[in-house]
A and B are shown apart, each in its own frame.
Chain A
Amino acid sequence: DAGVIQSPRHEVTEMGQEVTLRCKPISGHDYLFWYRQTMMRGLELLIYFNNNVPIDDSGMPEDRFSAKMPNASFSTLKIQPSEPRDSAVYFCASSLGGRGGAEDTQYFGPGTRLTVL
């Protein structure tokens, strides 16, 4: 089975440009998570969805960040306008469930390394 798929793997853009990161969760998984990893802050949860509905977006740093999940097999994280401090690795993860039990294990995609110049 395919794991979580993310694209692009690397993105280099200039300050002020719009950036869109994409994620395809594991088929059948009901939960999808977006994380950001930086040296300073480590791994931070930005937002997560359950059955395509955003449940908790308290980790989204500011209004420049937005995330959508139009269907069960696709999600986007958009940054507009991008800033150099947004440079990080962005991970998408999915899980089968979220209320306890083995199905709540989160499986991560390979990440998107974003560099904003």
Chain B
Amino acid sequence: AQKVTQAQTEISVVEKEDVTLDCVYETRDTTYYLFWYKQPPSGELVFLIRRNSFDEQNEISGRYSWNFQKSTSSFNFTITASQVVDSAVYFCALRDLYTGANSKLTFGKGITLSVRP
């Protein structure tokens, strides 16, 4: 069965620090997709990134970067020079293509990030 583990539950940093949010996944499939979502205090879920299992290139988007390593089944998310507006709960999610339910996303429990001024 597919599983997503976000072992860190809460992280607190001071503004301008770098912070890495860990995500470890389990799947039997060779084809799968990984996602990160952000849930700010206002409550909505905001899509950040999607990565397929065939593309191990790291991705950078502004202050955000993602490190995908199939060898360790990890898809970690780093925020560089964190800002107060980065305070949110961050979810990692996995979607694989097992028979019968192509579109199910499995979410981790989420990591609460607090960035203090």
A residues with CB within 8 A of B: 31, 33, 42-43, 45, 48, 50, 55-56, 89, 91, 93, 95, 98-100, 102, 104-111, 113
User: Contact: A42 with B97, CB < 8 Å?
Assistant: no
User: Contact: B103 with A104, CB < 8 Å?
Assistant: yes
Contacts of A106 in B (CB 8 A): 47, 103, 105
Q: How far is the CA of A98 from the CA of B105 in the complex (A)?
A: 11
Q: What is the predominant secondary structure among interface residues of chain B facing chain A?
A: loop
User: Contact: B33 with A108, CB < 8 Å?
Assistant: no
- How near does chain A come to B91, taking the closest CB pair, in angstroms? 7
- How near does chain A come to B16, taking the closest CB pair, in angstroms? 30
User: Contact: B31 with A105, CB < 8 Å?
Assistant: no
A33-B103, A43-B91, A104-B95 given; A111·B47 CB < 8 A: no
Choice from A89, A95, A102, A107 contacting B103 with Cβ under 8 Å? A95
Contacts of A110 in B (CB 8 A): 42-44
Q: State how many residues of chain B have any CB contact under 8 Å with chain A.
A: 25
Contacts of B37 in A (CB 8 A): 108
Contacts of A109 in B (CB 8 A): 44
A93, closest chain B residue (CB): B45
B107 within 8 A of A: yes
A interface footprint on B34-70 (CB within 8 Å = 1, 0 otherwise): 0101000011111100101000000000000000000
Q: How far is the CA of A45 from the CA of B103 in the complex (A)?
A: 10
User: Contact: B95 with A42, CB < 8 Å?
Assistant: no
- How near does chain A come to B85, taking the closest CB pair, in angstroms? 18
User: Contact: A113 with B102, CB < 8 Å?
Assistant: no
User: Contact: A113 with B103, CB < 8 Å?
Assistant: no
Contacts of B3 in A (CB 8 A): none
Q: Give 13 new A-B contacts, CB below 8 A, not counting A105-B35, A108-B47.
A: A31-B103, A48-B104, A56-B101, A93-B45, A99-B102, A100-B31, A100-B52, A102-B50, A108-B37, A108-B44, A108-B45, A109-B44, A111-B43
